Amino acid sequence: MKIGFIGLGNMGAPMAHNLLKAGHAVNVFDLNAQAVQALVDAGAKAAASPKAAVADVECVITMLPAAAHVRSVLTAEDGVLAGVPKGVTIVDSSTIDPASVKAFAELARQHGNTFVDAPVSGGTGGAAAGTLTFMVGGSASAYEAVKPVLSAMGKNIVHCGDTGTGQVAKICNNLVLGVTMAGVAEAMSLGEALGIDVKVLAGIVNTSTGRCWSSDTYNPMPGVIDSAPSSRGYSGGFGTDLMLKDLGLATDAAKFARQPVYLGALAQQLYQTMSAKGAGRLDFSVVIKLYRQGSLSDNGSDSTKGDA
């Protein structure tokens, strides 16, 4: 299939690579010439604008930092809608707010196109390995249409419901994640301060009603799980600033829905404190340093310093 791909960042680049590997023809566009060249070297065709990238394609995929970028890529003079043939489906894999999705879907509809939201989970590792989860919002037929393309980049392609529900699913999941991680951080720190061995404590929680991914797979206490970022100085993983972005989307969506999110709003402030103290690029499980005895000040400048 011929695909136009806009946005070759940390996530978009490996995703586009996987499309090429699967045998698709891919036109790419990004403001970063180096990122474009790497894809061209792998067989993609560079385009001078989003409009040019989508002129002759059967599917468009966008992977961008925020809703403002998606709007611009869609509606600019040399944007997607200025060039894309009628009938082509536009898949946006950016993580953005559901209200913007609905606005973009309406713009696309007026232009004769279908807009599908398909945010991902799985991180840069999943993007490289082609094992992302796609949370797809759109009609059943739109879902069926995009599923084969998305399957080249991910292993779980989940239909969440109508347009926008892909974003809702992602936002709600990450709301739970942000809360459970901070909750585990405070329970593990409390247990440590009260004198229980932290591995024993994690073992009990993980086989009891406190069981959760943040404890049994990604425990924030160093030394509990060897493969977790906490055991390598909170480097790699899912950055505090990315968690902040997602909790910001959750509390914003809650505001528009007139829905309280007590724990989500509080967790956002906890991660915000860590970001303000210099830990924005460290894995979000670093929030445990807010609870443990000792200084926050070694979070910041160099993530390779690891845990004191």
The single-letter DSSP state of residue 275 is I
Residue selected from 85, 148, 260, 308 as contacting a copy of itself according to rule CB under 8 A: 260
Residue 3 is a binding residue for a copy of itself (CB under 8 A): no
**H or E segment to which residue 265 belongs:** helix 262-274
Are the C-beta atoms of 47 and 28 separated by less than 8 Å? yes
- Backbone region of residue 260 per phi and psi (left: phi > 0; alpha: psi in -120 to 50; beta: other values): beta
**H or E segment to which residue 124 belongs:** helix 123-129
Active site residue 170: yes
Residue 105 is a binding residue for a copy of itself (CB under 8 A): no
Neighbour tally for 235: CB within 10 Å: 15
> Could you identify the residue written with the tokens 């909170």?
234
3 state SS of 59: strand
Residue 186 is a binding residue for a copy of itself (CB under 8 A): yes
**H or E segment to which residue 53 belongs:** helix 50-53
Single out the residue of 137, 122, 149 nearest to residue 1, CA to CA: 149
At 64, which amino acid appears? Answer: L
Residue 305 is a binding residue for a copy of itself (CB under 8 A): no
Neighbour tally for 255: CB within 10 Å: 12
Provide the token pair at 153.
């980049």
Residue selected from 52, 76, 128, 187 as contacting a copy of itself according to rule CB under 8 A: 187
User: Site for a copy of itself (CB under 8 A): how many residues?
Assistant: 86
Residue selected from 259, 302, 305, 308 as contacting a copy of itself according to rule CB under 8 A: 259
**One of 51, 102, 170, 289 is an active-site residue; which one?**
170
Residue 286 is a binding residue for a copy of itself (CB under 8 A): no
Single out the residue of 217, 239, 98, 240 nearest to residue 169, CA to CA: 98
The piece of 35-43, 60-68, 84-92, 205-213 that touches a copy of itself (CB under 8 A) is 205-213
For the CA atoms of 36, 38, 132, 55, the dihedral, rounded to the nearest 10 degrees, stands at 40
Residues numbered 46 to 75 that lie near a copy of itself (CB under 8 A) are: none
Residue 225 is a binding residue for a copy of itself (CB under 8 A): no
Residue 15 is a binding residue for a copy of itself (CB under 8 A): no
Residue 222 is a binding residue for a copy of itself (CB under 8 A): no
Question: Which residue, 62 or 285, is less far from a copy of itself as judged by CB?
Answer: 285
Residues numbered 149 to 168 that lie near a copy of itself (CB under 8 A) are: 156, 158-162, 164-165, 168
The piece of 19-27, 48-56, 58-66, 203-211 that touches a copy of itself (CB under 8 A) is 203-211
Residues numbered 109 to 128 that lie near a copy of itself (CB under 8 A) are: 121
Residue 269 is a binding residue for a copy of itself (CB under 8 A): yes
Question: Which residue, 105 or 168, is less far from a copy of itself as judged by CB?
Answer: 168
Q: Which residues are catalytic?
A: 170
